[in-house]
Every structure is written in C-alpha cells, then in structure tokens.
Structure 1
Amino acid sequence: MSNLKISSYSKEELQSMLHDMMLIRRFEETLKKLYQQGEIHGTMHLCIGQEATAVGACVPLTNEDKITSTHRGHGHSIAKGTDVKKMMAELLAKETGYCKGKGGSMHIADLDVGNLGANGIVAAGLPLGTGAALTSKMKELGYVVLCFFGDGATNEGAFHESLNLASVWDLPIIFFCENNLYGMSGSIKEMTNIENIADRGVAYGIPSEIINGNNVLEVVEATTKAVERARNGKGPTLIEAHTYRWEGHSRSDARKYRTRDEEKEWKKLRDPISLFKEQLINENMMTEEEFIELDKKVQAEMDEAVEFAKNSNEPSLETLTTDIYA
C-alpha cells in the first residue's frame, strides 16, 4: 500500500472506511452469537474477512448509484449506507426490519441509498444490475451500477449473458467479483478450468482487473477508475478481487474442503481490518487511542441495533400476505 494512495484521502475519510469495515465485522460476529443463542432462525452467510471488498467498492458510489448484492450481502448493505438497526430487526424477524421481518438475511434492500437488494439465487443479481444499468442509459439518469457476485456465479449462464449485453450496449455497470477461493463445497480450482476469472471479461471485450480484495485502498482505487469509466459512457468493467471468508459457506458448513492451518494463515497475515489499522497508525492518520474510541463507537452502534430489534414487535398474522403479490 503506497503513501501516494493513502495521501489521496483525508484522515476523516480513512477513519470512516475503517469504521465501516469494523461495523460490518461486529455486525456479523453479533449475528453469529445470536444464531448460536437461538435468537435467529434459518441460516445465514457471513462475510467476516471480506470487509474490504464491500467498503472499498462502495466508497466511489453516490446515493443515486445502485448496487446489487448476493446471499452473502450484509457487508454490501452496510457499506452502501443501510441502517444496521433495521437490518438487525430483519434478521430477528421483526416488523421494523427492511422486509417487515419476512425476508430475512438474503433479501435486505434499501432503495433510498441505492441498494437494489440481496439475492438468495447465485448470479441472480447480475441480470438485475444489468437491467438497472440499461434503465440509467436509456433514460439518461446518470447513475452507475455496481454488481457484487462471487466466484461461483461466474459459472452460471446469467453471468455470461449479463456481460455480453452490458458490453454490446456499453452499459454503466461494474461487475465486481469477490473471489474468496471457495464455493459452497469446494475450491474454485475444482470448478473452473482457467487461472483468472478476469480472463472471462476479455472474451466479451470488457476491461478487466485483478486486485487484492483485502487491501481496502486498492479496492477503492480500482473501483473509482471503473466508476469514472462507466459514468463517462465508456461501458462496463470487470473487477476480480481476491479475498477470503473466515466462516463456512453457511452456518451448516463444516469446511472440510480446506485446512485449519490455511484459515489461520489468512486470519494472521491478511486480515483486512488489522492491515488497514496498522497502515493508518504508521502513516499518522490514527492513534491507538483513536482506534480504541472507534471500537467503542462501533460496539455502541451494535448494542443499539440489537436493543432496537429485540424491542420490536413480531409481524402480525394480518400482514402474512402483505407485499407478497403484486
């Protein structure tokens, strides 16, 4: 991480990025604890370890710009500006949640901040994002779309169809692949017979880039270039960000397809939050005392979210079919 990159941002901007990364991790850790206590039912897909991709990709976006998310979408939602109190209420199935307690982990959306929604179907956000980008271009609305998806989505037909149409029509969209090296039950090397997912963008005439997804400033830099390209009418970009999920695919995943030593190495050497904190302190953009205060602030926000959710009412039977049929 070069001094040139870090000097491009103010102390406030840098600490805001770290705050959002810490908030995402604390949110996920809190969900894990609540799930183990029986407060949350069903399953969830935690993004602990991937905080830098979510935050870095959303930094260059405005409220008017849109994102589409995935089944592992809590981090994307928080980075785009959704309210953690409403998110927590949704996870606890309360009527104050974003989907009034009936959507759960994989369906959080907030149109007010441009979050078009998470999706439980692998790759389903790609055509939705492409459609939103087409709307922006045809109606000259000026917004860009950033579409998050995982490495597993690149083997779905929706991925290839979306890239092809976006390329043909020069749509204002960034295809952002969070390559965390593993799908639901195995390594990306077992699922795809190419070295780089970014190579698939070349086949559609789309500029592609591979970045370190655990370096938040590298993510910001790559995404900023792609957003400017899209906003200037030069079409889509494919970004492949290498990262790592610390937890299993879902809460029922025993992670038999990888070793505990590998997990320890990623946590020790490539933790995006620890790396960024260390960088800010070394560059005199933060003191250890300021980090401690930031950590307290994040915990207070999380305590407030949990209290809000637990004190909210459950959906009434009268609302059972509300919002289900158009």
Structure 2
Amino acid sequence: MLKMAAKKEMKINSKLSDEQLKEAYYDMLLIRRFEEKSGQLYGMGLIGGFCHLYIGQEAIAVGVQSVLKEGDGVITSYRSHGIMLATKSDPKYVMAELLGKATGCSKGKGGSMHMFDLPKGFYGGHGIVGAQIPIGTGMAFAYKYKKTDNIAVVYFGDGAANQGQVYEAFNMAKLWDLPVLYVIENNEYGMGTSVARSSSIVELYKRGESFGIPGKRVDGMNFFSVREAVLEAVEYIRSGKGPVLLEMKTYRYRGHSMSDPGKYRSKEEVADYRENHDPLTMMAKYLEDNKIYSQEDFDLLEKKVKDAVTEAVEFAQQSPEPSEDELFKDIYA
C-alpha cells in the first residue's frame, strides 16, 4: 500500500504558502543533516549511551507540526531528536544535550533518549517503551480539565503498539473524549523484529477500534499526505469528539539504534526506500516542479543547513560539562 501511494503524484491539500513550504523543506533537511552528523559524532565516541536516529522519517514530524498551534503538546519515545527539531527547538541545545553538556536542553543529564523543551511544547523523549503514551494521555486530560482547545500528540512506534499500557490509555482517552492524537510511526521493525512477526493484526490503525477510536493509515514518507491526514484528525479532535489514531507507514534508513547493524533486512529493501520513497527527494521534486525552488536555491539551502549543524556542533563542543552539584538536582518535581 505504501509503495503504491509513494509512486503516485503527491495529493496536495496543504493550503500552505510558498514560504511555508520552503520552511517545511528546511526543517526536514535540517533533521536529516543533524541526524547524519549525530551518527558521525557517535562513531567518534563523542556521544555516549544509546542514540536512535530519525533518518527517513522526517516527513512525519514536520507534517504533524505544521498543523499544530501554540499551546499544543508533543511527547514521544527515545527516537526524539527529529521531532524535537520539528518543534523549532534550537539545534545548539539539542546537540549540546547529545554531547552531555551543561548547555543542553536537559542540562546534559538526559542525553539522546531524554530530550525536553517545555517552551516549545515538547514534553520529552522517554526511554521506557510505551511510557510516553499514558503520560501524553494525561496531558490531554489536563487540556480538557483546564477547558483549553489544545491537543496532545503522542508518538510511538510499532513495537510499543503491543504494550499493555497503550490500551489502558486508549480506554480512558475515549471514555472521557480526551483531545489526543495518537501517531504510530510504523517503520516496519521493532528493534530487529518485523511487524508481521510480532503483531497478529498488522493494520495498526485498527488498534483503537474496540475502544471507539477512529484510525487511518497514512503514507508517512509523504509530507503532504501526513499534513492532510493530521488536518482532518485535528479538526475532529478539537471539535470535542475525542481521540484519533493515525498509523504512519514509514521507514528508518539506519538501525534501531547506532549499535544495530540492521542485518535482519536486505540492502535491496533499504535501497528501494532511499531511491523511490525518500521524503526529502519527493518534497524537493514538488518544489522544483512548481518553480518554488531552483537548483541554485537548493544549493544555498544545503549550505545554510550545514552551517546551522556546524554551529550546533561547535557550540556543543565548546560548552562546559555539568557540574557535580547537578547530580542530585531535578530528581523530584
């Protein structure tokens, strides 16, 4: 289904100006180059612990974020850098956190899996599989309790979709018609296990049906498909009808984490996605075909993004380590 959708012409219902489309492409390219550099730094031993890259999934975070408004909240798992950058968090503070520096968004104490930026509405990456789902549902409860029209977006992967707390959260979300959008980033492998080998029902968008939560499968490699589906879902949620579940079919080009060589899938499979379904390539083609960007514009943008990533790395490397007295701070709220 994904492959067929990806090869069709992009269905456009974006209502975005040329400037907004340029901004969306910039955000996607920034995530790609930032994550590539993160992988290099990890290989050099400058990033410790685990490191999960978002390469290949950029259209989801940017597409979702393009629909949200001030006051909405976003929460995700440990594959968090890309989603955090999509919320417009400063790349310098994200990179500093990866390098464990005091200037990082979590003061250098969270690292790759525990990013956080409250002013941007980013409520974190979370290291425990599925832990963010009940927390995000609680965020939605708070929005409804306070009588705001904000929503919570809860990202989780195909692997987390089999966790028990997901369905406890679903039940409460629908019981109280909470303003929450559940986004399953189905990149086809939970660590090294394919969805077909771990899930009795592989149509993950149907997982909310028994609770009365409508679901839809979306081409997560296509920015416009993501945006269109999220526009529809957010309108439904803000009208007070309760939660929606979107399954974004996507693909990660790298391993589950930097320590994963990804030998459970063929080189041909990865190459097919890179060559025929890449979200940046498809977006760039749209911009070029519609004369929004020329090749010269793309070259200038590439330089702008690379300069931003270089600046982030230099900032992080020059930042101080956390002081020892930070060790026992922020343990309790």
**How does the TM-score come out when normalised to structure 1?**
0.97
C-alpha RMSD of matched pairs (Å)? 1.3
CA distance in 2 between partners of 1:319 and 1:159 (Å): 34
Q: Is residue 2:248 matched to residue 1:241?
A: yes
8 Å Cα contact 1:95/1:313 also seen in 2: yes
Bigger shift: residues 249-258 or 264-273: 249-258
Unaligned runs of 5+ in 1: none
In the TM superposition, what is the alpha-carbon distance from 1:4 to its structure 2 partner?
A: 6.5
Aligned equivalent of 1:147: 154
SS at match of 1:42: coil
Aligned equivalent of 1:24: 31
CA distance in 1 between partners of 2:228 and 2:330 (Å): 39
Deviations 1:197-223 (A, max 9, x none): 011121211111101000001101111
CA distance in 2 between partners of 1:229 and 1:209 (Å): 13
Bigger shift: residues 200-209 or 22-31: 200-209
Q: Is residue 2:118 matched to residue 1:111?
A: yes
Q: Is residue 2:166 matched to residue 1:159?
A: yes
Aligned equivalent of 1:297: 304
In the TM superposition, what is the alpha-carbon distance from 1:40 to its structure 2 partner?
A: 1.1
Deviations 1:180-207 (A, max 9, x none): 0001121010000113001112121111
Aligned equivalent of 2:265: 258
8 Å Cα contact 2:50/2:113 also seen in 1: no
SS at match of 1:57: helix
Aligned length: 326
In the TM superposition, what is the alpha-carbon distance from 1:33 to its structure 2 partner?
A: 0.7
In the TM superposition, what is the alpha-carbon distance from 1:325 to its structure 2 partner?
A: 3.4
Match of 1:74 among 59, 76, 81: 81
In the TM superposition, what is the alpha-carbon distance from 1:81 to its structure 2 partner?
A: 1.6
Aligned equivalent of 1:277: 284
Cα gap change, 1:5/1:74 in structure 2, threshold over 3 Å: closer, same or farther?
Answer: same
8 Å Cα contact 1:11/1:286 also seen in 2: no
Q: Is residue 2:48 matched to residue 1:53?
A: no
SS at match of 2:291: coil
Unaligned runs of 5+ in 2: 1-7
Cα gap change, 1:165/1:29 in structure 2, threshold over 3 Å: closer, same or farther?
Answer: same
Cα gap change, 1:251/1:308 in structure 2, threshold over 3 Å: closer, same or farther?
Answer: same
8 Å Cα contact 2:11/2:225 also seen in 1: no
SS at match of 1:268: helix
Structure 1 runs (4+) deviating above 6 angstroms are none
Match of 2:235 among 228, 236, 261: 228
CA distance in 2 between partners of 1:124 and 1:7 (Å): 33
Cα gap change, 1:246/1:227 in structure 2, threshold over 3 Å: closer, same or farther?
Answer: same
CA distance in 2 between partners of 1:198 and 1:249 (Å): 22
Q: Percent identity?
A: 44
Aligned equivalent of 1:41: 48
Q: Which amino acid aligns with 2:27?
A: D
CA distance in 1 between partners of 2:45 and 2:172 (Å): 44
Q: Is residue 2:196 matched to residue 1:175?
A: no
